[in-house]
Amino acid sequence: MHLLIATRNADKLKEIRGVFDLPGLEFSSALDYPEIPDVVEDGATAEENSAKKARTLARVTGHWSLADDTSLEVEALDGAPGIYAARYAGEEASYEDNVRKLLREMSEIAERGATFRTVITLSDPDGDVRHAEGEIRGLITHSPRGSAGFGYDPVFQPDGYDQTFAEMPLELKNRISHRARALLHAKSLWNDLLGD
């Protein structure tokens, strides 16, 4: 079976393919379809954004499509940046820009609890969707640590660990992260549908 991963983010693509390894599953991604415009993520929730990406790519290409959307919910910031995590410092913001803004806004805050939450959506070519979720709690560190990972990984330290995601080996992060948990949940739900 062919599965299109509805992202052009090479870092995210690597993580998804590393976890979602069902036998007989062939992958492509939005990178293989440069003629398709980026999907505007204008939903009010991670579920809406994830579904819109999966459904759009599935209908346009005729392939089953898998999309995800992730929110970073910082308790002391009333849940911000939330679903706007990837563009927290602006539409063209880099990972570093977003991290700098988050640390600036938390510079005087002692309570640093946060939750990463990922919604995975699978769409068939007709646009029918189903969802799976995963989340992990942790804290926002006072400064970036580590050089692996991407996004907020250098400042997110999951509960029960003394390393940030950016300090962890990829194999460990891919077992415990919000995206890994969502993907593992999705695999358990959709194994019969997508596997051999």
**C-beta neighbour count of 38 within 10 angstroms:** 9
- Which strand (E) or helix (H) includes residue 158? strand 156-158
Q: Which among 69, 126, 192, 196 is annotated as catalytic?
A: 69
- The angle formed by the CA atoms of residues 145, 146 and 152, to the nearest 5 degrees, is 70
> Which residues, in sequence order, are CB contacts of 71 under 8 Å at separation 6+?
46, 81, 82, 83, 85, 116, 117
Sign of the dihedral through C-alpha 68, 40, 60, 56: positive
> Which residues, in sequence order, are CB contacts of 160 under 8 Å at separation 6+?
none
Nearest-angstrom CA–CA distance, 67 and 57 = 9
Amino acid letter for position 115: T
The answer to whether residue 69 is catalytic is yes
Catalytic residues: 69
